[in-house]
Structure 1
C-alpha cells in the first residue's frame, strides 16, 4: 500500500513539470480577447518550441474564412497565415491543432473581435 501512495504522490508532484515540457502557445496577433478596428492582414501564432500545425481555421459571423498559410505544414515556432476572405464586424475565433516536437497533440483557440 505504501508503494501505491508513494507512486500517487510522485505523479501529482511531477504532473505540473510534465505539462511544462510541451510546447506552449505564446501571444500572437491578434491577441486573445483583442478588439480590432479593421480586419487583420495577417494571423500569427507563436509557440515556445517547434510545432507542426495540422489544423488551422478562422471562423467568424459569416462562417469560415480561408487562410493562406506560409509554413507548408513544417514544424515552426511562428505560424503566419493571410485571411483570403471578407471579414466584417463581429466575433472571430482562430482554432489550431498540432503536434509538438515530443509527439504530443496540442490545440488551442484565439478569440478576437472586429469593431463595426
Structure 2
C-alpha cells in the first residue's frame, strides 16, 4: 500500500488515516471471503516513527491508537513492529522515550 510522499514526510492529514483504515478493512474482507478458517492476509503491522521529531510524536501515537482501536477485532492477533528512524541524529528519542510517548505499554494483549 503506497501513501503520498507528504504523508511519509510528516504532513499528517486525517484523510490518510481514514483511507488506511478503510484499506485495512478491505483486506480483512478479502481474508474472510475466503472462509473464516483461512489465515488473515497479513500477520504484521510495521509502524515507522520519526525518532527525531519530538513535537509530532503525539500525532503518531494518536494515529497508531486510532488504527488499533477502530480495527481491534480485525487486528487482534497481528504483531506490531515499531521502527524509529533517524536514530543517528543527536536529539533523537531513545527506545524508552519512544515506547513511553507512543503508549506502547498500554497496548495490553498485543505483541510489539
TM-score, structure 2 as length reference: 0.27
From the CA coordinates, give the structure whose radius of gyration is larger. 1
